[in-house]
Amino acid sequence: MITWSNRLLLMTTLLGGSNSIIYAQTTKPLITVERLTPEFNKLVGKNVNARIIADGFAWCEGPLWIEGHKMLLFSDVKKNIIYKWTKEKGKEVYLNPAGYTGKVPRGGELGSNGLGLNIKGQLVICQDGDRVVSVMNAPLQKPQAKFIKIAANYKGKKFDSPNDLAFLSNGDIYFTDPPYGLEKNVDDPLKEAPYQGVYKIAKDGKITLLTNTLTRPNGIAFFPGGKTVLIANSDPAKPYWYAYDLDKNGQFTHGRIFYSAKAASKTAEGMPDGLKIDKQGNVITSGPGGIWIFNKTGKLLGKIKVNDLASNLSLSADEKTMYVTSNHRVLMINLR
């Protein structure tokens, strides 16, 4: 059964050939599953199903499943709110304000974006409006709009709008910094750096610029072992996923294109955006048309096409459930 908005509708599932389509009583199915390889079937079973668990947002992003508390956190970037979803209570306001704490009214993507947990179990927040990466200075179960800035500038120049986070087991945090949080994007007069960067926050607080060559760095995640990182580039001119190896100092080396979405971006909405990498090294990422799944070598295994723009995703601890932020709503997809 799939829920469309808050209504229960009769579903019809067609399973045949290499593809399966899950239909709802609407003009579009919630998801369409495109099976390209046998490996895909091990990750996405034939009984895959989806439902909307929360909606009514302006633009949701940065989902984070926290297994210990059985809760999903996610950002409404335009409303400056972090929401919480639980099976028992549904959606609730978790933190407000979440990304912009200034007093001067402003528009655009001013709220929080990417969310994550550091090695101490604290909530780390990409704060678009404040242009910083911060740690919430409060317990997860008693959130407060109190923040400790852990990255505010690089060599005196403010970041544009920190977007997404990846964590190494040694405590280092990597983050991307595209211009989307600036009200006028790359043409905003408040933009200080002449490039878009990917940075590292070392456990001692030192900030290092890792690359300034990506035009729109967005989603970021490490492959198992922490020796290689994957970054989504959300630029229509260069809609690629890039891979970098890490040297002994945790800096980037051997940069290359992991996969190109150039052809697909001409026929489907969306860009390479948020991503996760599972325990086996499979890449699950939002891209043109929905969710793309690759193996660790960059072979496209299949897609879960979503009938609205998919921005990001999070996986449950057992990796059998995926939570997808999709425009004004959040989907829960039971993979197997």
Are 111 and 95 in contact, with CB atoms under 8 Å apart? no
Tell me how far the alpha carbon of residue 39 is from its chain's centroid: 24
- C-beta neighbour count of 227 within 10 angstroms: 10
Q: What is the model's pLDDT at position 27?
A: 63
- Predicted TM-score of the model (pTM): 0.92
Full 3-state SS string of 52-66: EEEECCCCEEEEEEE
3-state SS assignment for residue 187: helix
Please name the amino acid found at residue 56: G
DSSP letter at 43? H
Pairing relation of β-strands 3-4 and 290-294?
Answer: unpaired
Instruction: Report the phi/psi class of residue 104: left, alpha or beta, with left for phi > 0 and alpha for psi in -120 to 50.
Output: beta
Q: What is the model's pLDDT at position 25?
A: 38
Task: Divide the 336 residues of the chain into consecutive groups of 10 and give the mean pLDDT of each group.
Answer: 33 34 57 98 97 98 98 98 98 98 95 98 98 98 98 98 98 98 97 98 97 98 98 98 98 98 97 98 98 98 98 98 98 97
Give CA–CA dist 141/269, Å, rounded.
37
- The distance between the two most distant Cα atoms of the chain, rounded to a whole number of Å, is 58
Give CA–CA dist 169/119, Å, rounded.
7
Q: Which domains does the chain have, with CATH numbers?
A: 56-334 (2.120.10.30)
Six-digit token pair at 67?
């297994």
CA torsion angle 136 138 144 146 (round to 10): -50
End-to-end Cα spacing for the chain: 14
Give CA–CA dist 230/9, Å, rounded.
38
Q: What are phi and psi of 92, to 5 degrees?
A: -140, 150
Q: What is the model's pLDDT at position 28?
A: 80
